């Protein structure tokens, strides 16, 4: 699992750096009236990988966006119940999203969809969804197993 986490973090750094540099170069080229087609394609691909690997990383570190409702509730039983409901909802959402993204990936692969300028297979972008949601599920299930081991009972 440690190797997976390290690879995820390196991939995030690479993708975010690529987005930063590509947007910067696009800005420079547009202001010097040099037209380079296809920059948007590359930015979009790296941005998708950044978004979905970032989603998996935030699940891993338990830093994903929360509604803040748990902090407002003083009753520990109610807070615990809401935490369990939100965890199960996130688990269900990730599972459904993974299934849908796999179907979209298969469709793009079968029809051989490619980008307009560089003819990059769309499956490369959609793989970010599949891998992101798969990692999300792995991290959620690891958290669930850890909670079961620590508590000796179901979450």
Core vs surface per residue 74-85: b (16+ CB within 10 A) or e = eeeeeeeeeeee
Q: Which residue has the tokens 């993974």?
A: 98
Rounded to whole angstroms, how far apart are CA atoms 138 and 141? 5
Rounded to whole angstroms, how far apart are CA atoms 135 and 52? 9
pLDDT digits (tens, 9 = 90+) for 24-59: 998 888 888 777 778 889 999 999 999 999 999 988
Share of the chain above pLDDT 70, in %: 90
What confidence category does residue 69 fall into, taking pLDDT thresholds of 50, 70 and 90? Answer: low
**Residue 98 · residue 128 · CB < 8 Å:** no
Alpha-carbon distances of 130 from 48, 84, 88, rounded to whole Å: 11, 25, 20
Which residues fall within 8 angstroms of residue 72, CB to CB, at 6 or more apart?
Answer: none
**What was the pLDDT predicted at 12?**
93
For the whole model, what pTM was predicted? 0.83
């Amino acid at each position: 699992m440690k190797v997976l986490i390290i690879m995820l973090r390196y991939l995030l750094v690479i993708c975010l750096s690529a987005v930063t540099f590509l947007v910067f170069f696009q800005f420079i080229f547009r202001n010097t009236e040099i037209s380079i087609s296809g920059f948007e394609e590359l930015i979009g691909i790296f941005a998708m990988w950044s978004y979905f690997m970032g989603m998996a990383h935030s699940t891993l570190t338990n830093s994903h966006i929360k509604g803040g409702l748990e902090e407002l509730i003083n009753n520990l039983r109610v807070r615990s119940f809401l935490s369990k409901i939100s965890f199960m909802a996130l688990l269900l959402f990730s599972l459904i999203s993974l299934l849908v993204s796999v179907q979209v990936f298969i469709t793009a692969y079968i029809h051989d969809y490619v980008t307009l300028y560089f003819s990059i297979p769309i499956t490369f972008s959609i793989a970010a969804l599949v891998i992101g949601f798969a990692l999300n599920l792995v991290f959620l299930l690891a958290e669930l197993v850890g909670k079961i081991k620590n508590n000796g009972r179901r979450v």
